[in-house]
Amino acid sequence: MVAGQPIYDDDLLPLVQAQVFQLRVQEYEVKSKALENLVNQKLLEAEAKKKGIPTEKVLAQEVDAKVPEPTEAELQALYIVQKEQLRKSFDELRAQLQQLLKRAKLQQARQDYYTRLREQAAVSIFLQKPRVEVTHDPARLRGSPKAAVVIVEFSDFQCPYCQAVAPTLRKLLAKYEGRVSLAYRDLPLRDIHPQAQLAAEASRCALEQGKFWEYHDLLFENPNKLNREGLVEQARRLKLDEKQFDSCLSSGRYKAQIEQDLQLGLRAGLTGTPGFFINGSMLSGNLPQDAFEKTIEAELAASKGQRTAP
């Protein structure tokens, strides 16, 4: 209470939502790791009981003993990859390389063994990663509006990581055509990317003429042309009405909408770009394609389950 005026929990939410979400993600990661270890232990105990051996001997007998020693060709291949950093001869490093490769083989064999045990035991995990419901702008949607999975991307046209991840996103849309769509939102990091704000405004001006995604692609393909002259040049390449485009860019009429996008991203927990929400599940950074695919596949499976549920 402040001078008779109450402050409620809901009043705090806009101020702390991003920090609280990050804490929830950390909690999930800790629980997820603990759950994985516990599931593996239960699987080993069940396997030990079935085979009539102590639990602590299951891995040694069923996995470790069956892992072959690294071959000469494998050792040579590993040495070739790492010799620039190691700066020693193959003979000097042979024992170290053998130990390193054997350990890697053991880890992979154990992981494969756990995977087989999980499949046989029909393990189901119900612990869910925290989600943030982030709306998308239908006017800046690439792909089917009926797609089961929507990737909402918060991006900055001057961000090199956003530029680098763009080809990955195009590959994902091609691979999951009709099932995955991509929605764009602005999060210009003005403090470190002084051209990002005007580029975001220019993309909105291109949207006015129905060429948002074409303009979006040109900006990422030409990161050295984000000043006003360069932005107008890209509009000219797309044969946009130059007078209308220039008037739009001079008006600054999209500043408020860009700020709304930015604040939405910050409240959702983003601290940089690119940031993604895949049906509410957050990913961030220039991630490899398989990192996106893992989340997409999980979301597609979840949506399929929802459609077939009674």
Residue range 74-94: mean pLDDT, rounded: 84
Residue 306's pLDDT is what? 57
pLDDT digits (tens, 9 = 90+) for 171-203: 999 999 999 999 999 999 999 999 999 999 999
pLDDT digits (tens, 9 = 90+) for 207-254: 999 999 999 999 999 999 999 999 999 999 999 999 999 999 999 999
Q: How far is CA 264 from CA 124, 135, 305, in A?
A: 34, 9, 30
Residue 309's pLDDT is what? 45
Residue range 71-93: mean pLDDT, rounded: 85
CATH number of 138-308: 3.40.30.10
Percent of the chain at pLDDT above 70? Answer: 98
Confidence of residue 308 (pLDDT cuts 50, 70, 90): very low
Mean pLDDT of the chain: 92
Residue 169's pLDDT is what? 97
d(CA 212, CA 215): 5
- The one-letter code for the residue type at 171 is K
Confidence of residue 307 (pLDDT cuts 50, 70, 90): low
Alpha-carbon dihedral sign for residues 270, 253, 219, 193: negative
Please state the domain extents for the chain. Answer: 1-130, 138-308
Who's near 282: CB < 8 A, 6+ residues apart? 21, 25, 131, 132, 268, 269, 270, 275, 276
